Amino acid sequence: MSSNDTLDRLAQTLEARKPVNGGDPSTSYVARLLHKGPDAFLKKIGEEATETVMAAKDIDHGGPTEVLKGKLVGEVADLWFHTLVALAHYGLSPADVLAELERREGTSGIDEKALRKVQQRDADGN
């Protein structure tokens, strides 16, 4: 089973849990987050991002490495999950993110960032 299949199944579940699609905020965590609106799931993304950073720092500072790596994986899974909730809210999917990553493949990150700055300047009319 590929990771794309896992992401697709999760995206379908998130879509089904949207309140507009019958998701019940009283029985579904996802429906509750989406019902509360962007502030709720964006706050969770911030929390999970911070916990991801802290878990990575714990690995850097020693301790039982396999346990700490497992904690990092768990925090990244939480972060990914909540970002997928945000994507679903905004009508996007993991496929949109994967397409963007594929578009960037083989492009230097430095070059790609410089190109985005030029495009933004052009869009701003400067």
**Integer Cα distance of 65 and 56 in angstroms:** 11
Q: Is 47 exposed, middle or buried (0-12, 13-18, 19+ CB in 10 A)?
A: middle
Task: Answer yes or no: are the C-beta atoms of 93 and 87 closer than 8 Å.
Answer: yes
pLDDT at 126: 67
Structure tokens belonging to residue 29: 């965590």
Q: pTM above 0.95?
A: no
Which of 18, 51, 54, 20 minimizes the C-alpha distance to 33?
Answer: 18
pLDDT at 111: 76
Mean pLDDT per 10-residue interval, the chain, length 126 residues: 83 96 96 96 98 95 88 97 97 95 85 80 83
Backbone region of residue 125 per phi and psi (left: phi > 0; alpha: psi in -120 to 50; beta: other values):
left
